[in-house]
Amino acid sequence: MRVRDASVDDVPSITAIYNELISSRTVTWTDHEDSVDDRARWLARRQAAGFPVLVAVDATAETAVLGFASYGEFRDNQRWPGYRFTVELSIHVDEAQWGGGVGRALMTELLARARRAGVHVVVAAVDGENTESIEFHERMGFATVGRLAETGFKFGRWLDLVFMQIVLDEQSR
C-alpha cells in the first residue's frame, strides 16, 4: 500500500467509497449519494484551498484506491479567524479494507501534513453509534471532547455527534 495525493483520476473510486455505506449506515448523515461530478468539484475546492486530499492505493495497482482522507476548514475561518489553526478531517476506507491498516496509513500521513502546515488542532466529528471509528481515532491519539445528543436524524432515529480532537503541538501562538 502507498499513500499519495489524490488526482482527478481517483474521483470515481473516491465517490464509490464515500457512497458505499450511505444507504446502510450512519457513517455520513445524508441519504443522497454524491455524483462523480460532485466529488470532482469537492476535490478541486480542497486542492485550490491548499488542503490535502490523500488516497491509499494498492502498491501493485496504483489505480486501486483503498481509502481516502482530507481535512478542511473548521467553521468559517474567514469570518472567524480565531479558528484558522484548527481543521476538521474526513476519512473513508473501503469496507473490504477495514482493519487492514489503510486508515492508519492515511491518518498518519494526514496528521503529518497538518503538522507541516502549522495546524494546531485536528477535529473529527463522528456518529455516536460508530464505535469502530471512535476507537480508531482514540488509537490515533484523539480524545473525545464532547457529545451533542440528538443533533442528527437518519433512518427514522435521532443520532448523537461525538467530537474528538488531537492537539498537534504544544506551542502557544
Cα first-last separation, the chain? 37
> In the block, which residue shows the cell 453509534?
129
Q: Considering the entire predicted model, what is its pTM? A: 0.94
Domain encompassing residue 37: 2-167
Question: Is 172 a domain residue?
Answer: no
Q: Worst-scoring range by mean pLDDT, 94-103, 138-147, 162-171?
A: 162-171
Q: How many domains does the chain have?
A: 1
Q: Which residues contact 104 (CB under 8 A, 6 or more apart)?
A: 139, 140
Question: Is 143 a domain residue?
Answer: yes
* CATH code, domain with 25: 3.40.630.30
Question: Is 173 a domain residue?
Answer: no
Task: Write out pLDDT tens, residues 27-86.
Answer: 999 999 999 999 999 999 999 999 999 999 998 876 799 999 999 999 998 899 999 999
Q: What pLDDT sits at residue 61? A: 76
Using the Cα atoms of residue 72, residue 84, residue 173 and residue 165 in order, give the sign of their dihedral. Answer: negative
Question: Is 62 a domain residue?
Answer: yes
> In the block, which residue shows the cell 489505480?
63
Please compute the mean of the pLDDT values over residues 79-108 and round it to a whole number: 96
Question: Is 77 a domain residue?
Answer: yes
Tell me how long the chain is: 173
Question: Is 56 a domain residue?
Answer: yes
